Chain A
């Protein structure tokens, strides 16, 4: 299957950073608001930009495979990229797991090692974009061969991927999210009214129709 491009004509980002460099909010930089955040929150958020953790949980071969996988599942096919893998690695290395383990699954850390091995057996990092996509779709459909339930494994690894990607302020620029709002708070709660510091959308396309037309489903 040909891999369809992003919606044509998405503006290039003019301020701030979005993964891939184009988005709906070309003049929005959530980090421009950081002086309005409380110091504790600012430290946590800025560390994701300024202090990317090293790889300590995955070995070099796993790192190569899993980095390619993370790029594929988040469609990060060009710079700038959110270093998703580094944040996943940190969470696993620190053992900050999420408080539940399915009875038919090993510990999340073992799930990650096993998924990395399975993808490496398919030489995931060397595959073409289309081949990576097909293999990932198999995984998403619960058809990747694993010693445990592949559908549960997919939900486990994607939980880590999504948390890493959507906790990063560059992704907030992409989706127009206002980010931390303490101690300032919000004053304009009504539909269609934004604070002057909130994101302004310069793109109108219903993604439902768009995703269907581009055959992404």
Chain B
């Protein structure tokens, strides 16, 4: 046992984030009574659009360092006690459900699958998996000849991963894959389905580990322990699951940030010199204009490109909106004679990253991860429908729900310039063109997905499943404003700064050039944590008004 493992175990307070202590033990809502309010005319140091994984983390980091920060969030400021329910259909309001058009040969369903709305963003309704990316993810072009190399490496993010794992906090076993590491909280107990998956995987030589999940498993400030109620994807009413709403927003507010909810950013305004001077937004039906010294857009892979395109941000190389990625995420259900009660316990339980990197013998580049998932009745009915059942067959399969458990995979699908966000000729309730997202898989993608499905089938066969059902689907979104070293092939530089606009930053998952087979939330947070550090250290020249730039890298 390593000393390092012991050092990190137990409930260590994060060094620079008091969010968990600022929450109330017996109420879930964030206290906003002392939140500072800025006037539209005040030029704030950093204006942020979107309060999800990227925007929420950036706001906390900068506010703590004394920056004046306003976050414009299109959705509401959630009160988990009042607004959230333990119910699938009743959670519709958590998703971005304004119109978007989907196209391409393999259209990707948006809404509840991958799109957040409100303070906390889509982490409010993510499962809770918080894996790191592997070092190889940052150089797939060099290592595997596919995808793209990032302008930064894993080692630029490592320190931020470690910080954020303490802030969420992340629970899980010692992690053997990628850059091996440990977690601040130990693994949660396993439910039936995870046990079956583990057994089947062991039996065919596939290693699994418990976690990593951003779900409290021990003492952590005023956030309670998980109660295993299973509604993680319907937003955690317990406050045990991490989202920026509970992990970063309280500390941001405490340090003077304003989270301005119900505010839809409509246009980025540039001055004659080509710098951002502020953002037009609509609140209570009235158009307003917030001034700023610098702007970070954190609206995720669909809305960030849409806002940039709707604002006419210089786009000489036609890069904005390109290389949007989703992960191939088929899920395979397995039937067992005993009851599995898949709804009990958090859906995210055990993972394998054994197939994460390229193995040429498999016939495709890059790989996939395997994770437990836990669809509730409506979602599981969609699986049964996808198999072609309806009517009595549907009812009969559904009566059998309690006997099924599932594994999902996340396949690394490769970035492609034609998988992109453009503006549709349809407008939304604000009169703005909505986003259109086209997506088409490549042959490498198809092979990866098929191999992953075959692998899961093997696990369930070894676990003794009587029958299996597989549904093809996609998960997560990244890319669309990727970072790079060449303005002709990217939207922003390694400091997230949009080429040609010195005070405009992209602070969300859309900067990612590749996606690995890891859930993106933790990496989005780590990226913006790094960005905040570089901004505050004045390592980004001419970015904001605060003092003279010290160095430019």
Q: A45-B87, A174-B398 are in contact. Are A208 and B467 (CB under 8 A)?
A: yes
The answer to whether B95 and A99 touch across the interface, beta carbons within 8 angstroms, is: yes
Does A138 belong to the interface (CB within 8 Å)?
Answer: no
Among the 9-residue stretches B46-54, B228-236, B309-317, B535-543, the one with 4 or more Cβ atoms under 8 Å from chain A is B228-236
Minimum Cβ distance to chain A for residue B375 (Å): 11
Minimum Cβ distance to chain B for residue A22 (Å): 10
In the complex the two chains form, what is the Cα distance from A103 to B167 in whole Å? 41
Q: A41-B90, A99-B112, A207-B396 are in contact. Are A178 and B344 (CB under 8 A)?
A: yes
How would residues 178 to 205 of chain A score, 1 for a CB under 8 Å from any chain B CB and 0 otherwise?
Answer: 1111111111111110100011010100
The answer to whether A159 and B382 touch across the interface, beta carbons within 8 angstroms, is: yes
How would residues 426 to 457 of chain B score, 1 for a CB under 8 Å from any chain A CB and 0 otherwise?
Answer: 00000000001010000000000000000000
B95: nearest chain-A partner, CB-CB: A99
Among the 9-residue stretches B103-111, B256-264, B275-283, B483-491, the one with 4 or more Cβ atoms under 8 Å from chain A is B103-111
A47: nearest chain-B partner, CB-CB: B90
Choice from B85, B103, B392, B397 contacting A103 with Cβ under 8 Å = B103
Q: A136-B390, A186-B227 are in contact. Are A191 and B196 (CB under 8 A)?
A: yes
Does A147 belong to the interface (CB within 8 Å)?
Answer: no
The answer to whether B391 and A75 touch across the interface, beta carbons within 8 angstroms, is: yes
The answer to whether A189 and B381 touch across the interface, beta carbons within 8 angstroms, is: no
In the complex the two chains form, what is the Cα distance from A207 to B402 in whole Å? 12
In the complex the two chains form, what is the Cα distance from A41 to B165 in whole Å? 31
The answer to whether B86 and A75 touch across the interface, beta carbons within 8 angstroms, is: no
Does A8 belong to the interface (CB within 8 Å)?
Answer: no
Q: Which residues of chain B from 386 to 426 have any CB-CB distance to chain A below 8 Å in the complex?
A: 388-402
The answer to whether A192 and B87 touch across the interface, beta carbons within 8 angstroms, is: no
In the complex the two chains form, what is the Cα distance from A101 to B263 in whole Å? 24
Minimum Cβ distance to chain A for residue B238 (Å): 7
Q: A38-B237, A44-B90, A166-B398 are in contact. Are A103 and B391 (CB under 8 A)?
A: no
Interface size of B by CB at 8 A reads 73
In the complex the two chains form, what is the Cα distance from A101 to B400 in whole Å? 32
The answer to whether A176 and B402 touch across the interface, beta carbons within 8 angstroms, is: yes
Does B358 belong to the interface (CB within 8 Å)?
Answer: no
The answer to whether A186 and B401 touch across the interface, beta carbons within 8 angstroms, is: no
In the complex the two chains form, what is the Cα distance from A74 to B339 in whole Å? 24
The answer to whether A40 and B85 touch across the interface, beta carbons within 8 angstroms, is: yes
Does A172 belong to the interface (CB within 8 Å)?
Answer: yes
Chain B residues with CB below 8 A from A208, complex form: 335, 466-467
In the complex the two chains form, what is the Cα distance from A204 to B112 in whole Å? 35
Q: A96-B92, A99-B111, A175-B401 are in contact. Are A6 and B392 (CB under 8 A)?
A: yes
Q: Which residues of chain B from 107 to 131 have any CB-CB distance to chain A below 8 Å in the complex?
A: 107, 109-112, 115
Choice from A73, A163, A167, A186 contacting B345 with Cβ under 8 Å = A186
How would residues 51 to 90 of chain B score, 1 for a CB under 8 Å from any chain A CB and 0 otherwise?
Answer: 0000000000000000000000000000001111111111
The answer to whether B382 and A162 touch across the interface, beta carbons within 8 angstroms, is: yes
In the complex the two chains form, what is the Cα distance from A73 to B196 in whole Å? 33
Chain B residues with CB below 8 A from A140, complex form: 388, 390
The answer to whether B467 and A103 touch across the interface, beta carbons within 8 angstroms, is: no
In the complex the two chains form, what is the Cα distance from A74 to B101 in whole Å? 29
A-B pair number, CB within 8 angstroms: 219
The answer to whether A217 and B88 touch across the interface, beta carbons within 8 angstroms, is: no
The answer to whether B195 and A75 touch across the interface, beta carbons within 8 angstroms, is: no
Decide if the interface of chain A is mainly helix, strand, loop or mixed: loop
A181: nearest chain-B partner, CB-CB: B229
Q: Which residues of chain A from 102 to 130 have any CB-CB distance to chain B below 8 Å in the complex?
A: 102-104, 107
Does A98 belong to the interface (CB within 8 Å)?
Answer: yes
A42: nearest chain-B partner, CB-CB: B85
In the complex the two chains form, what is the Cα distance from A163 to B95 in whole Å? 15
Chain B residues with CB below 8 A from A210, complex form: 396
Chain A residues with CB below 8 A from B107, complex form: 100, 102-103
Chain A residues with CB below 8 A from B115, complex form: 99
Does A1 belong to the interface (CB within 8 Å)?
Answer: no
Minimum Cβ distance to chain B for residue A7 (Å): 7
In the complex the two chains form, what is the Cα distance from A125 to B400 in whole Å? 30
Chain B residues with CB below 8 A from A72, complex form: 391
Minimum Cβ distance to chain B for residue A175 (Å): 4
A40: nearest chain-B partner, CB-CB: B85
Chain B residues with CB below 8 A from A75, complex form: 391-392, 394-395
Chain B residues with CB below 8 A from A192, complex form: 192, 338-339
Choice from A41, A97, A217 contacting B85 with Cβ under 8 Å = A41
Minimum Cβ distance to chain A for residue B302 (Å): 10
Minimum Cβ distance to chain A for residue B211 (Å): 15
Choice from B86, B191, B335, B391 contacting A206 with Cβ under 8 Å = B335
Chain B residues with CB below 8 A from A165, complex form: 381
In the complex the two chains form, what is the Cα distance from A188 to B229 in whole Å? 11
In the complex the two chains form, what is the Cα distance from A186 to B340 in whole Å? 14
Does A23 belong to the interface (CB within 8 Å)?
Answer: yes
Q: Which residues of chain A from 127 to 147 have any CB-CB distance to chain B below 8 Å in the complex?
A: 133, 136, 140
A98-B111, A182-B229 are known; give 8 further A-B pairs, CB within 8 A: A40-B83, A45-B90, A100-B107, A101-B100, A136-B390, A166-B377, A181-B343, A189-B228
* 9 tightest A-B CB contacts, nearest first: A99-B111, A185-B227, A103-B103, A167-B89, A180-B86, A191-B192, A99-B97, A181-B229, A216-B393
Residues of A within 8 A of B (CB): 3-4, 6-7, 23-24, 37-38, 40-41, 44-45, 72-75, 96-104, 107, 133, 136, 140, 155, 158-159, 162-163, 165-167, 171-172, 174-192, 194, 198-199, 201, 203, 206-208, 210-211, 216-217
